[in-house]
Amino acid sequence: ERVGRDELAAAYAFLRTIEHRLQMRRDEQTQRLPLDGDDLAAFARFCGFETRAAFEAALLRHAGRVQAHYVLLFETAPSLSAEVGDLVFSGSEDDPATLATLAALGFTDPARTVETVRGWHFGRRPAVRTARARAVLTELLPSLLQALGGTAEPDAALNTLDHAFARMPDASELLTILLAHERLRLLFSDILGTAPRLAATVGTGPHVLDAVLDPDFVAPTTDPAAVAAQYAALVGSPADHETFLDRSRDAARQLRFVTGARLLSGILSAAQAGEAYSTIAEAAVTASLAAVERVFAAEYGAVPKGRCAILAVGRLGSRQLTAESDLDLVIVYDFDPEDRTTTGRRAIDAVVAYNRLAQRLYAALTVQTRRGGLYAVDLRLRPGGEHSPTAVQVRGFLAYHRSEAEVWEHMVLTRARVIAGDPGLGAEIEAGIRETVAQVRDAGAVCRAARDMRGLVAREKGHRGPLDLKMAPGALLDLEFLAQALVLGHAHEQPALVGATADAVLEQAGASGVLPVDTAGRLAAAYRLFDAVHHWQRLVGADGTA
């Protein structure tokens, strides 16, 4: 006990010191470590560590100790189920004492709760029809009901679990895990009560809960290389393309579940969760492109000196994906026009090859397999939209944006970045985008064009009510259009604006005098608030109509 006390006290002192140092850097209230590697290294030195690695090791050591004591505290605590009260679900009549117990636990409709649980015991749901599942359920039920009663909406949580049982073939594994781990039982109950989509993921594969027990659960990373390695480890070495498709969906589902659970647990902020979801999508696109290229090369061969890159725009471009975001992608390619035929047994022209490759990549990301889908993907933001070829040649892409694109298309480019494919081609694309976005423009004309486009979107798509924080007047889309217009109007003087998030653009506009400082600050704060709530809406499945 003394060792535990000393370790927790030392961890508290260490973490509090780090918090103070964070707040001293820019004189602001924050608990967020720098994400940039160089910035983190500088902060590590500010905290007295010689290297970033030494700082990270100390931080993870203290976090691991806290995690270990936290788990021990909950898993060795005496069970409270014995003190729950009477819980009788046999027979056809409701037991008055059981109804009273359920009411005391927080259920507002105890009779319906009894009916639901009685149905489980009678095997009315596929998940609890085996003798093993019902035996574990009987032992788990008092503590499970108590955990559900501690959520914000016990009746809704129970209803979500009942729906999950209706879809699951066998809940034995899930129930056994919940019986063995108090901590997971509490987290799963919170998920049932607040994030039914996460609960559905658990119902599909209960093993995703294992990640919550891993010490790394409290030490998330958004480093692309680290997440790509995690993704590759989960996918493994599939024997064929169909197996890859299944495993890639399982891998993304597990990593997205862990991100949602970290957001729900307060380990990640909404903004950090956006970065995490984006990094997972990058790993999925990168792995899918490599898998498709392998299959394609076996059939058609390679394009001599051919290169392909995937450009992300929208929320993926700005690293702000939510739990349910689509991927907005543009597939760009290049080849030697003097040698444009593939080398395989079924030789085809390079333009045909890259458009077929693009279509296969789209299928790899979107097709429904027995393991479900991976992502919804929108390719319409390429030049020419849905009426043009699926992939675009790099010279045509850059020439279009230099001379033909409308202002709204350049607004899209303000948060574009290459996420996969050939590094050289990616650098060429991003350099061309920076040049295009940084053209000298009439700021007033840009704002008028942005206003007209916003009006068109409002007329065509409307919104679902004041809590539709993406589309409602005065919400995220208005602030994003404003930020994008500011980038196009001032990037020639302030190139750092290109690729920045909307709140960063707004703050820079205040710092540079483009907007009054107090106005810029309020707009940036409003954006961060709306964006955070929007992340939570997408996590819990709210549609913004309330």
Does some domain include residue 106?
Answer: yes
pLDDT at 147: 93
User: CATH number for the domain including 524?
Assistant: 1.20.120.330
Separation of alpha carbons 420 and 423, rounded Å:
8
Residue that is last in its domain, among 170, 192, 213: 213
Using the predicted structure, report yes or no on whether residue 27 has a pLDDT greater than 70.
no
pLDDT at 204: 79
Work out whether strand 417-421 and strand 327-334 pair parallel, antiparallel, or are unpaired: unpaired
**pLDDT category, 25, cuts 50, 70, 90?**
confident
Using the predicted structure, report yes or no on whether residue 172 has a pLDDT greater than 70.
yes
In percent, how much of the chain has pLDDT > 70? 95
pLDDT at 1: 52
State whether 172 and 190 are in the same domain: yes
Which tokens in the block code for residue 369? 């397999």
More confident residue, 479 or 86: 479
**pLDDT category, 72, cuts 50, 70, 90?**
low
pLDDT at 80: 35
Average pLDDT over residues 99-122: 94
Using the predicted structure, report yes or no on whether residue 74 has a pLDDT greater than 60.
no
Q: Lowest mean pLDDT: which of 54-58, 383-387, 454-458?
A: 54-58
Does some domain include residue 51?
Answer: yes
Residue that is last in its domain, among 213, 246, 271: 213
**pLDDT category, 75, cuts 50, 70, 90?**
very low
Radius of gyration of the chain (CA): 26
Work out whether strand 327-334 and strand 391-393 pair parallel, antiparallel, or are unpaired: parallel
The 3-state DSSP class for residue 256 equals helix
Which tokens in the block code for residue 183? 């901590």
Does some domain include residue 170?
Answer: yes
pLDDT at 54: 86
Does some domain include residue 120?
Answer: yes
Q: Lowest mean pLDDT: which of 18-22, 96-100, 311-315?
A: 18-22
Taking all residues of the chain, what is their mean pLDDT, rounded to a whole number? 90
Average pLDDT over residues 117-137: 93
Does some domain include residue 546?
Answer: no
Residues 6+ apart with CB under 8 A from 467: 537, 542, 544, 545, 546
State whether 363 and 499 are in the same domain: no
Average pLDDT over residues 483-503: 93
Which tokens in the block code for residue 219? 């030490």
State whether 176 and 222 are in the same domain: no
pLDDT at 183: 84
State whether 273 and 418 are in the same domain: yes
State whether 347 and 232 are in the same domain: yes
pLDDT at 23: 78
State whether 365 and 242 are in the same domain: yes
Does some domain include residue 485?
Answer: yes
Of the candidates 187, 186, 172, 194, the one whose C-alpha atom is nearest the C-alpha of residue 80 is 186
pLDDT at 63: 82
User: CATH number for the domain including 327?
Assistant: 3.30.460.10
State whether 311 and 428 are in the same domain: yes
State whether 371 and 477 are in the same domain: no
pLDDT at 76: 43
Using the predicted structure, report yes or no on whether residue 157 has a pLDDT greater than 70.
yes
Cβ proximity of 544 and 467 under 8 Å: yes
**pLDDT category, 296, cuts 50, 70, 90?**
very high
Residue 332 backbone phi and psi in degrees, to 5: -120, 145
Q: What would the pLDDT profile of 180-206 be if each residue is shown by its tens digit?
A: 888 889 889 988 888 888 888 888 788
Q: What would the pLDDT profile of 310-340 be if each residue is shown by its tens digit?
A: 999 999 999 999 999 999 999 999 999 999 9
Which tokens in the block code for residue 506? 């707004």
Chain-centre distance of CA 412, in angstroms? 21
Using the predicted structure, report yes or no on whether residue 228 has a pLDDT greater than 60.
yes
Of the candidates 199, 360, 274, the one whose C-alpha atom is nearest the C-alpha of residue 282 is 274
Using the predicted structure, report yes or no on whether residue 348 has a pLDDT greater than 80.
yes
Average pLDDT over residues 491-512: 93
Separation of alpha carbons 184 and 132, rounded Å:
20
State whether 304 and 407 are in the same domain: yes
Separation of alpha carbons 453 and 220, rounded Å:
38
Number of domains forming the structure of the chain: 4
State whether 348 and 491 are in the same domain: no
State whether 317 and 374 are in the same domain: yes
Does some domain include residue 545?
Answer: no
Average pLDDT over residues 479-501: 94
Average pLDDT over residues 141-167: 92
Host domain of residue 169: 81-213
Residue whose entry in the numeric block shows the structure tokens 């729906």:
163
Q: Lowest mean pLDDT: which of 72-86, 291-305, 346-360?
A: 72-86
Does some domain include residue 264?
Answer: yes
Residue that is last in its domain, among 46, 72, 98: 72
Separation of alpha carbons 162 and 109, rounded Å:
15
**pLDDT category, 79, cuts 50, 70, 90?**
very low
State whether 383 and 532 are in the same domain: no
